[in-house]
Amino acid sequence: MSKNTHSFQAEVAQLLHLVTHSLYSNKEIFLRELISNASDACDKLRFEALDNAALYEDAPNLEVRVAFDKKARTLTITDNGIGLSQQEAIDHLGTIAKSGTREFMSRLSGDQKADAQLIGQFGVGFYSGFIVADRIVVESRRAGLPADQGVRWSSTGTGDFEVETIARDKRGTSVILHLREDADEFLNGWKLKQVISKYSDHISLPILMEKEEWKEGEDDKGGEMVATGEWEPVNKASALWARAKKDVSEEQYVEFYKSISHDYEAPLAWSHNRVEGSTEYTQLLYIPAKAPMDLWNRDHKGGLKLYVKRVFIMDEAEALLPSYLRFVKGVIDSADLPLNVSRELLQESRDVKAIREGSTKRVLSMLEDLAKKAAASTAAAPAESPAADGVTDVVDKKEGEPADADAAKASEDAGKYAKFYAEFGSVLKEGLGEDFANRDRIAKLLRFASTTSDAATVSLADYKARMKDGQEAIYYITADTLAAAKNSPQLEVFKKKGIEVLLMTDRVDEWALSYLTEFDGTPLQSVAKGAVDLGQLQDEAEKKAAEEAAEAFKPVLEKLKASLKDKAEDVRVTTRLVDSPACLVVQEHGMSTQLARMLKQAGQKAPEVKPVLEVNAEHPLVKKLERDEAHFDDLANILFDQALLAEGGLPEDPAAYVRRVNALLV
């Protein structure tokens, strides 16, 4: 039969070059990836067969088989799942089909550990076979197609691959790896069983290998292990989430997470529970240690794996968790949903709503537990049961355990929440606007930098505990960068009086804070919105002096308003400035100039924001306005544009700004 040669997609060719140069730092992971793919193929068959039982043909029992041939130097992974048609083989094995291909390739760094993490995340685990093989042959037939429409795909992992039509009686796929000279360890039954047990024990299908027995050599000289022709399962073949927690080790929980998430790192925490009541389901939820590269990509899909009575239904079931928890990985196995449930039905199902609410509360509980351990990091934390739940179960300290073990565990736990927040804090904030029912719980989990801490470690509760006597609000400022926030003129009076201000620099902050107007009875107040009012923190003498300054400065204010009528909504004297001549603020409930800029940069429509210019009547530059009639308009515009620059904006006419400044300098 004729062979057709096809070129790899450019990104695949580049990827294969990296793979063949030992992209993975741990070679044996290729077997996990290929067995995972085989398991997925069986899950897909089971799902499609719900509507067409004939797809099972004469083999209703789904399985994965692993075999090796020392003489031929081949390792073969075979499944009797959905299989591939010829066009699917070309499409799926010659291109990176998942969205975000360009982003994926742009992320490859040459760092083996980092790149290994990316491979699985972007759904290209098949190519990991080239770590140990110098040639891969895939033979397959899609379920439902006649035997003469099988396909053979083969490649040496260079620039192209060959495809031909073959006869294949059995549906499913065989991946045949022709091993490199340095991959002899994978021609050993004991080694393969060890790797399968380590990485794939949780696979709910039986993974079979041939039994081996020892055969003595001639004249009792030497001997070898030989296959008996009898196949036996080498994994437990039971869904990990369906087992009792006491029967699952910490290592098994971690490896299961890596398998479903394609993450290189262990998770920060997990929770495994069976929920009973009006809605029955099992949940196994993980909080990753690192954000996926495409977390902010519009094409990114989050969500959990959904099973119904251990039958795989779909990946990335987004309806099972709210969008702000899209980083959570895991499995939901429902006892109540119908097997033919669709994504549309998920949106309307009462059972799904109950699962969503229960899973949301469970994730928030995990985060609260991590946050509590961080807060109590100075005290030794109790040892945890590794075989139960990643965050909550406590066991007694073992006899003979080192005296400093608790302190070391506490130190490790203390860093987990900070690590989580650095990766996912921005996403968590979205919950303030998306999840009204849990808004208070989310608010307690938020952390910010402040004028007392550059690191995002300050909670709203911490801030409240440090508030000055007479302080009536939690003050914050939003800015593009931490430096811009720390050096904002709006903070000057707060620094002078020693009042802490939260520094918010995430793009989502202003939108999220519009849904959180108070915390534990104390209002939140942006220092860049409305007139500054320090209440009891400003004494009567200060208030009287400010009023007198404003009255004396009235004539200049009127001229400033006229000069800046196209730029500023209003001009007023302020008490918030100490060293700067002017700053920009917006009205109490108005959109900030920063948010308006971000919306425009994102190509979205934003209302035209005309800020209020506040001036420091005591500043020499402002006083000059009273004396320099000839340059009044130039000085007024310079004041406004400098205030805009100070908060990260740009003058509408930069050239005009430069001319005005140069004229004054000359």
Q: Determine the pLDDT at residue 610.
A: 84
Phi then psi for residue 180, to 5 deg, are -70, 165
Q: Is the pLDDT of residue 105 over 60?
A: no
Contact by Cβ (8 Å): 232, 267: no
Largest CA distance in the chain: 116
Residue of 516, 453, 448 lying closest to 478 (CA atoms): 448
Per-residue pLDDT of 117-144, as tens digits, reads: 444 443 457 888 888 999 999 999 999 9
Q: Say which amino acid occupies 148.
A: D
pLDDT tier at 98 (50, 70, 90 boundaries)?
Answer: very low
Q: Which long-range contacts (CB under 8 A, 24 or more apart) does 625-629 make?
A: 625/556, 625/559, 625/560, 626/556
How far apart CA 85 and CA 78 sit, in angstroms, is: 16
Q: How far apart are CA 346 and CA 340, in angstroms?
A: 11
CA distance 570 to 191: 77
Nearest CA to 126 among 136, 141, 112? 136
Provide the token pair at 432: 């303030």
In this prediction, residue 262 has a pLDDT band, given cuts at 50, 70 and 90, of: confident
Distance CA 155, CA 161 (A): 5
Q: How confident is the model at residue 529 (pLDDT cuts 50, 70, 90)?
A: confident
DSSP classification of residue 120: H
CA–CA gap between residue 130 and residue 23 (Å, rounded): 10
Domains and CATH numbers, the chain: 4-237 (3.30.565.10), 239-445 (3.30.230.80), 447-665 (3.40.50.11260)
What percentage of the chain exceeds 70 in pLDDT?
A: 82
Closest CA to 598 of 478, 422, 517, 443: 478
pLDDT one-digit tens code per residue, 455-514:
888 999 999 999 988 888 999 999 888 998 898 888 988 898 899 999 999 988 988 988
CA atoms of 168 and 564, how far apart (whole Å): 81
CA dist 24 and 396 (Å) reads 39
Q: How many residues does the chain have?
A: 666
The answer to whether the beta carbons of residues 276 and 238 sit under 8 Å apart is: no
Rounded distance, CA 161 to CA 93, Å?
9
| DSSP string covering 558-589 | HHHHHHTTTT-SEEEE-SS-SS-SEEEEB-TT
- Per-residue confidence at 407, pLDDT binned at 50, 70, 90? low
E-assigned strands of 472-553?
474-478, 502-504, 518-519, 522-526
Q: Which residue has the higher pLDDT, 104 or 336?
A: 336
Q: What is the pLDDT of residue 476?
A: 93
Distance (Å, whole) CA 156 – CA 159? 8
Interatomic CA distance for residues 454 and 443, integer angstroms: 20
> Residue 93: pLDDT above 90?
no
Task: Report the 10 Å Cβ neighbour count for 432.
Answer: 23
Nearest alpha carbon to residue 149 among 164, 161, 136: 164
Q: What percent of the chain has pLDDT over 90?
A: 39
Contact 211, 195 (CB under 8 A): no
| Distance set, CA 536 to CA 203, 465, 494, 508 (Å) | 65, 18, 13, 32
- Give CA separation, 241 vs 203, 324, 491, 590, in Å: 10, 24, 52, 49
Q: Can you spell out the DSSP letters for 151-213?
A: EEEEE-SSSEEEEEEE--SS-EEEEEEEE-GGGGGGG-HHHHHHHHHHHHTT-SSPEEEEEEE
- Confidence category of residue 404, pLDDT binned at 50, 70, 90: low
